[in-house]
Chain A
Amino acid sequence: MAKVLMKGNEAIGAAAIKAGCKYFFGYPITPQSELPEYMARELPKVGGVFLQAESEIAAINMVYGAAGAGVRVMTSSSSPGISLKQEGISYIAGAELPCVIVNIMRGGPGLGSIQPSQTDYFQATRGGGNGDYRLVVLAPANVQELVDLIIEGFDIADQYRNPVMILGDGMIGQMMEPVEFREPKRRDLPEKDWATTGTQGKRKPNIINSLYLQPEELEEHNKRLQAKYKAIMENEVKVESYNIEDADVVIAAYGTTSRIARTAISQLEEEGYKVGLIRPITLWPYPYDEFEKINPNCKGILTVEMNTGQMLDDVKIAVKGKHPVYFYGRTGGMVPTPNEIIEKVKEIYGGEK
């Protein structure tokens, strides 16, 4: 199929429909409202349902119900709206249901701003809801990757019976880039024999639940969850690296920030600096092992984020004290410029190339 120019938010909708998602429950919020708008227009055409709920809390619980019935279902919001959804997300994770949740992040805390940010990294990767649960968190850096990750995200969710979060920001949601809807490599997925689809009098009822009043049972349930998370950690890590074996400074950045870092690196190379990049595509599971490949004589790792230092914690865990770790971030919807990153890299170089 030929390339089309699409806005990130609309591309998410198109990709979800391509992946067989027919149900969307949401509530509008800038900067992702083009997505529910797109779904409202397009889902009825494929026999699906778009429903604007009365609140984010209602929307996520509709996702809970639909996922329990075994269908592909999605919701989306932006930071404060995702906060409202946390209770439902924890329930969905506890009940082991597959769904895709999109967070097009904006500045925080609180209502914050409507401009791009990456301030929900902790919430997405550490769990904003209660309990020992994990989301698979995917962080696309361009609209094509956004499309590909949405499609694969539905498969990951189904394979592990686990919610998947797409973590973008206002910039990737609003920008337009060429995309191609390639026929995706489909995974061999298990039957959804756990879904509440009606017994037809032929089997015992399936029960979707996250309540275990017997401590022994709940501990067993948690052990099962942890075994699943371990399998995800082993099989689903995605990362893109550039020149890390040879670099004097390595930048760690994800999503749109990694693009700005890439522009900075090109300019630094023209001046003779050797700078690498580690771009995690999965934020959970985090690509800790990739940091082992960094040049042992590297002068430092610079984490760049649109927050005050959240992925920074994972970088420190990954580096294990082998290299000094630095940070550069902007907040409030301010986007770092390549020049700001260049200055910071030169500071780490300490005046010598």
Chain B
Amino acid sequence: MEERIIIAGFGGQGVMAMGQLLTYAGMIEGKHVSWLPSYGPEMRGGTANCSVIVSSEPVGSPVVVNSTTAIVMNKPSLDKFEPSVNKGGRLFINSSLIEQKSKRDDIEVYYISANEIADELGNMRVANMVMLGAYLEATKTVDVESVLEGFTKVFGENRAHLIPINKEALERGAQAVREQMKANV
């Protein structure tokens, strides 16, 4: 098993944190993991992305060129990373901000209205967790419990009070995927 994931969006959408949570969860489960951020002369509102690898084997190159999964939070990220998803791979699109449909018919595509769902939960900042929940439901790469266990490691003990809302966001993302799967049958 080797998941090679690209997570991309605007700076501030929590794409780096999403990647770190997934990486931490993989480590907790004893898998081989790496997390590599894009870095550069970035500007506010610019794009950010990270490469995450969760594998049963030691990680070779930490750079994800061709992904098994791409999670895109905004339109520029869709344009940039849609073409490099491996055939048979998965693409998670934040349909709250991206109206466009995927051009690919050789991959599984999930449309998650992450911002709307986060808004319903009363905290726009958990949109990333909605996407992560959707990803975990579709791929089962790691358990949701492991992500929650890693939560305070990434955000600090003083953020522990935010676990319930984040847990709910993960669950709502998972629910969105289940509904889509049912609709596609």
Identify the A interface with B (CB < 8 A): 3-5, 30-31, 114-115, 170-171, 174-178, 256, 259-260, 262-263, 266, 335, 337-339
Shortest B54–chain A CB gap in Å is: 12
**B residues with CB within 8 A of A:** 20, 23-24, 27, 33-37, 39-41, 59-63, 65, 153
Tell me how far the C-beta of A107 lies from the nearest C-beta in chain B, rounded to whole angstroms.
12
Apart from the given pairs A259-B61, A263-B61, A335-B63, 18 other A-B contacts in the complex at a CB distance below 8 Å? A5-B33, A5-B35, A174-B36, A174-B37, A174-B39, A175-B37, A176-B36, A177-B35, A177-B59, A259-B59, A260-B60, A260-B63, A262-B60, A262-B61, A263-B60, A338-B60, A338-B65, A339-B65
A266-B40 CB under 8 A given contacts A176-B34, A178-B33 = no
Contact (A176, B23) CB under 8 Å given A114-B40, A171-B36: yes
Residues of A within 8 A of B36 (CB): 171, 174-176
Q: Which residues of chain B have C-beta atoms less than 8 A from A5's C-beta?
A: 20, 23-24, 27, 33, 35, 153
| Chain B nearest Cβ from A167, distance in angstroms | 18
Taking CB atoms, residues of chain B closer than 8 Å to A4 are: 153
Min C-beta distance of B22 to chain A, whole Å:
11
A176 in complex: contacting residue of B35, B39, B61, B63, CB < 8 Å: B35
Nearest chain A CB to B14 CB, angstrom units: 16
Chain B residues with Cβ below 8 Å from A115 are 40
Chain B residues whose C-beta falls within 8 Å of the C-beta of A259 in the assembled complex:
59-62
- Minimal beta-carbon separation of A329 from chain B (angstroms): 16
Q: Give chain A residues whose Cβ lies under 8 Å from the Cβ of B153.
A: 4-5
Rounded to whole Å, the gap between the CB of A263 and the closest CB of chain B is 3
- Please report the C-alpha to C-alpha distance between residue A170 and residue B60 in the assembled complex, in whole angstroms: 16
**Distance in Å from the Cβ of B163 to the closest Cβ of chain A?**
18
A42 to chain B, nearest CB (A): 16
Q: How far does the Cβ of B117 sit from chain A's closest Cβ, in whole Å? A: 28
A30–B60 alpha-carbon span in the complex (Å): 24
Which A residues lie within 8 Å of B23 (CB)? 5, 176
CB distance from B38 to the nearest CB of A (A): 9
Q: List 18 A-B contacts (CB under 8 A).
A: A4-B153, A5-B20, A5-B153, A30-B39, A115-B40, A170-B39, A176-B23, A177-B35, A177-B59, A259-B59, A259-B60, A260-B60, A260-B63, A262-B60, A266-B60, A335-B63, A337-B65, A338-B60
